[in-house]
Amino acid sequence: MYLNRFQQSDALKRLPEQFFANLVQKIQPYYEAGYDMINLGQGNPDQPTPDHIVKTLQNSAANPVHHKYPPFRGHAFLKKAIADFYKREYDVDLDPEKEVSVLFGAKAGLVEISQCFLNQGDIALVPDPGYPDYESGIAYADAIQHNMPLKKENDFLPDYASIPEKTLDQAKLMFLNYPNNPTAAIATEAFFEETIDLAEKNDICVVHDFAYGSIGYDGHKPISFLQAKGAKKVGIEMYTLSKTFNMAGWRIGFALGNEKVIEAINLLQDHYYCGMFGGLQEAAAKALNGPQDCVQDLRALYEERRNAFIPKLQENGFEVVSPKGSFFAWIPVPDGFTSESYSDFLMEEAHVIVAPGNGFGESGEGFVRVGLLCEKERLIEAAERMINVKRR
């Protein structure tokens, strides 16, 4: 009787299942049974936040100024630090007050942006495979998702020529993400220029998810969407401190770019939040404009892990392309398996946890995603387990 009294809203009922929450639930029995599991299925950085950032938070937490409500839209010192960071790293000029929005993690911003610009029946263009929470925001807004397949033969970039003209006419948002999760592909300046041209002609707002912007390999530094000429006319970029500085649990990100889009995000957040704790903002500013050797060290660590893990698989018959960016590898499944069945097979037979590619979209079928997020020795052991069960 009482269970039927409070019905969820239609908006909540439209939300998709939380992919990663379901993955955690699926693997829990193996841990409870005492198996030695190597978990490569999630994207949670395994290194601690650098000491100088932690100490900044510890010290600022004692400052009574931060015990009051902070400014709704963030302290000026943090927004200036963000603008300075982008100028130093990407030579992009930003107005701290008009072109920067402080986010409670980029995940929140990626869901909020659909609420800002999509109405019922509007279309959003989404990479397939892609980060599952793009879909969450679109569903909450009661809008329509049009998938853009990311194919190996096109370097995991969307083929804009394949999008129907009618769909482009109706589209209001486009999500992109390079370095890409889950495919580990990178974007080129020419691709971003093509994107800007398409967005201008069709009045589409581009949202570039730059979560893995600091992680490029073989001397390659991933480019920012905002570095492309005209980018701020058509959209924004979202950045997070989670990956660059191992601050996933701190929930700090920011949106940058088009002034009108930034204002819409700020307006929505005015109604959700009362501003981020000032101590967190001080720590974020320290991360952005403090010592950067920790960022270089982290990138080198991931590259070392990649170079230990990927060649071992390649030498033993796995047709995997070495990642160009992010801390993921996108591995084709062997013949006779689906993404789901291969993921289950590795969990049961090798006690290695990977994420099935179809969890990121229809075009993810035929792949599994691996995170390079444990010690090199454990990655080598995971590769050996995968090789051993492949030979059975």
What digits encode the pLDDT tens for the residues 325-358? 999 999 999 999 999 999 999 999 999 999 999 9
What are the start and end residues of each CATH 3.40.640.10 domain in the chain? 51-289
- Given a cut of 70, whether residue 100 has pLDDT beyond it is yes
Question: CB–CB of 180/357 below 8 Å?
Answer: no
CB atoms within 10 A of CB 141: 24
For the four alpha carbons of 96, 98, 99 and 101, in that order, the dihedral sign comes to positive
Residue-wise over 89-110: b if at least 16 C-beta within 10 A, else e?
bbebebebeebbbbbbbbbbbb
CATH number corresponding to 51-289: 3.40.640.10
What are the start and end residues of each CATH 3.90.1150.10 domain in the chain? 2-48+293-390
* CA pair distance 367, 385, nearest whole angstrom: 18
* Average predicted confidence (pLDDT) for the chain: 95
- Given a cut of 80, whether residue 9 has pLDDT beyond it is yes
Q: How confident is the model at residue 22 (pLDDT cuts 50, 70, 90)?
A: confident
Q: Topology of 2-48+293-390 in CATH?
A: Aspartate Aminotransferase, domain 1 (3.90.1150)
For residue 152, what are its two tokens? 């190996």
- Given a cut of 60, whether residue 1 has pLDDT beyond it is no
Determine the 3-state secondary structure of 235 from DSSP.
strand
* CA pair distance 88, 282, nearest whole angstrom: 19
- Given a cut of 90, whether residue 309 has pLDDT beyond it is yes
Name the nearest CA neighbour of 43 among 373, 380, 332. 373
Determine the 3-state secondary structure of 379 from DSSP.
helix
Strands 171-176 and 328-332: unpaired
pTM exceeding the 0.85 threshold for the entire prediction: yes
**64-69: long-range contacts (C-beta < 8 A, 24 or more apart)?**
65/278, 66/277, 66/278, 66/279, 66/282, 69/274, 69/275
CB atoms within 10 A of CB 365: 16
- Given a cut of 90, whether residue 261 has pLDDT beyond it is yes
* CA pair distance 193, 353, nearest whole angstrom: 38
* CA pair distance 360, 348, nearest whole angstrom: 22
